Chain A
Amino acid sequence: MSMINLNGIYIIWLREMKTFIRAKSRVVGMLMMPILLLGFLGSGFGGAMLPGIPEGVGYLQYLVPGMVGLTMIFTSMFAGMSVLWDRQFGFLKEIMVTPVSRVSIVIGRILGGTTTAVIQGIGILVISLFLGFNVSSAPGFIISIAFMALISVAFIGMGLAIASKLKDMQGFGLIMNFLIFPLLFLSGAIFPVNNLPAVVSYIAYLNPLTYGIDGMRASLIGVSSMPIAIDILALFAFCVIMVFAGAYLFEKSESV
């Protein structure tokens, strides 16, 4: 039996797609927060000048890549941790008892989760165009999609790693409040991290989302605090670490 089973990967991906399309309320729920934040923060702070934002860049321009990042981290962590739902509803056992390798199962999940997350990220981007967001160039738009995918892969890996260590859904709320929100505030999604105390801003550099959002700013509005190459390299390194951690812990976890 080979380690990589393309049919297995495909059908796991297809399952994610089908359930994504059918879970309309979940998708609407997921998109609601970034849209509300965009609407209220974008217009509320619209005229204000936040220190750290380059001159000539409106707050909405600054905020949109951050909100796409928010969408990515939420949907990706959710996709990674959906293994907990499968465990709760018993479907995980059905997957684990098949002759498809664990590696293929992990790849299928990551591809499925990334696809749905990127679709939602693009959705936010398109909605923000109607709110007055300007994309600097068409190639930039394409590059931003690559950043979305990388953010998504990293956080699905993280979600998978966490889910492998949790027994049930109880811990999910805890993760939401103690991991996702801090990661979000420490990523420059809503305000520049150099406004934070110096010690705290160093933590931001250990946060993959920081590089993802900075990279999206670079590609979408042409303004960033780091060179885009560093963003790509750092994010890619995080991806590799997270995927291996996720795959390793998933492999080790008990399915029954």
Chain B
Amino acid sequence: MGVQDNAYAIKVENLTKKFNGNTAVNSISFIVEKGELFGLLGPNGAGKTTTINMLATLLVPTSGSAFVAGYDVLTQRDEVRNSIGVVFQETALDNRLTGRENLEFHSVMYGMKKEERRRRIEEVLALVELSDKADLLVEKYSGGMKRRLEIARGLVHRPEVLFLDEPSLGLDTQTRRHIWDYVRKLNKEEKVTIILTTHYMEEADYLCDRVAIVDHGKIVALDSPKNLKDALGGDVVSLELDGGYSDDFEAELKTREWLKRIDRHDGTLNLKVRNADRHIPEIFTIAESRGVSISCVNIRKPSLEDVFLRYTGRTMRDQEASQTERSREMARRRHGP
């Protein structure tokens, strides 16, 4: 028996998972407060889904401990399973059953009584606005409807903690917005703690109270989206330079007190600047005096993408591109040229 710790929805300490010597999750620790909407943000392959699967008792951790709703995922698996709902990354519905039958199956598996079952199924169907489609076979559903049904299913048995693994993956922009609204609504109305994984910056930014940025199985930063962005120290100014990087130019910029950081990335120069709109003219003057020609300039409020870049030295897109490259390379090696 693990130590009961009911103060938090989730408490993870030095959780590690290795697959054949490959470390997917590397000694991560974090706490999720009750009622919180918590995000794990990172590129594909960062270890987010593996983390969720361990917390949902589908995978056994290699080492470390985790408590969900006060129960130990190692020694109190049934209690954990009773307290959580999971919406998996890939659809996990039976297409040959109707929406209502899928919910019925789920609620019986969770031991709900008939009366309560019927009431609750109506309730969650209404919550995700599927009441009028409930008796259609799921194979007739659109991608967005399936996702909504799965979210409803995750909630039927009134879990304390709901896991959403990439809730808007593969959905179009408009449907994604809808799903976000549902997630927010049920976090508020159902008072359920939600932990979601995503590789969409906007999703984490829009939805989450706090975000853990995950890279290579480690948490590299954890705070509210606002604090993470504020910590970057101002706006982001990206300069595309015609003649390549210039040390002189950067050295002189660094003498200015309004400049917080300079990063070279992929041919552009990223500056963190306080009150960027006031300092653009000065940047141009310095560039001119150093013989640097700027072909394009972009000013924006920092996004979580900039936060990711700051902590990992790469953008998430770089990361995913190199992953694809790597897996292609592996496929080539496996199957020969």
Point out residues on A near B: beta carbons under 8 Å.
Answer: 1, 5, 7-8, 10-11, 15, 18-19, 22-23, 89-91, 93-100, 254-256
Per the bound structure, the CA–CA distance linking A97 and B93 in Å amounts to 13
**Sample (13) of A-B pairs whose CB atoms are under 8 Å apart:** A1-B78, A7-B111, A11-B109, A19-B94, A89-B93, A89-B95, A90-B93, A94-B153, A95-B109, A99-B78, A99-B111, A254-B59, A255-B58
Which residues, 274 to 311 on B, are CB-close (under 8 Å) to A? none
Using an 8 Å CB-CB cutoff, how does the interface string of B103-119 with A read, 1 for contact, 0 for none?
Answer: 01110111100000000
On whether the beta carbons of A97 and B97 are closer than 8 Å, the reply is: no
- Chain A nearest Cβ from B135, distance in angstroms: 13
User: Which of B35-43, B82-90, B180-188 is found at the contact surface with chain A?
Assistant: B82-90
Closest CB-CB distance, A98 to chain B, in whole Å?
4
- Other-chain residue from A1, A10, A23, A94 in contact with B88 (beta carbon distance below 8 A): A94
A residues within 8 A CB of B93?
Answer: 89-91, 94
Contact present for B91 and A89 (CB under 8 Å): yes
A93-B58 in contact (CB<8A): yes
What is the chain A residue whose CB lies nearest that of B52? A256
A18–B97 touching, CB < 8 Å: yes
Please give 11 more A-B residue pairs, beta carbons under 8 A apart, in addition to A98-B110, A99-B82, A99-B110: A7-B109, A15-B94, A15-B97, A15-B101, A18-B101, A89-B91, A93-B92, A94-B92, A98-B81, A99-B109, A100-B109
Counting contact residues on chain B (CB < 8 A from A), the size range is: 20 to 34
Task: Give B195 Cβ to nearest chain A Cβ, in Å.
Answer: 15
Asked if B177 lies at the interface with its beta carbon under 8 angstroms from chain A, I say: no
B155 at the interface (CB under 8 A from A): no
Residue in A closest to B137 when the chains form the complex, CB atoms? A22
**B157: shortest Cβ distance to chain A, in Å?**
9
Q: Is the CB of B91 within 8 A of A19?
A: no
Q: Quick check: A18 and B59 within 8 Å, CB to CB?
A: no
Report if B56 contacts A (CB, 8 A): yes
If A11-B109, A15-B105, A98-B110 touch, whether A89 touches B94 (CB-CB below 8 Å) is yes
CB pair A93–B88 under 8 Å, yes or no, is yes
Assembled-state Cα–Cα distance A91/B95 (Å): 9
A19 and B97 in contact, given A7-B108, A7-B111, A97-B81 (Cβ under 8 angstroms): yes
Most buried by B among A7, A8, A94: A94
From A5, A10, A93, A97, name the one whose CB has the most chain B CB atoms within 10 angstroms.
A97
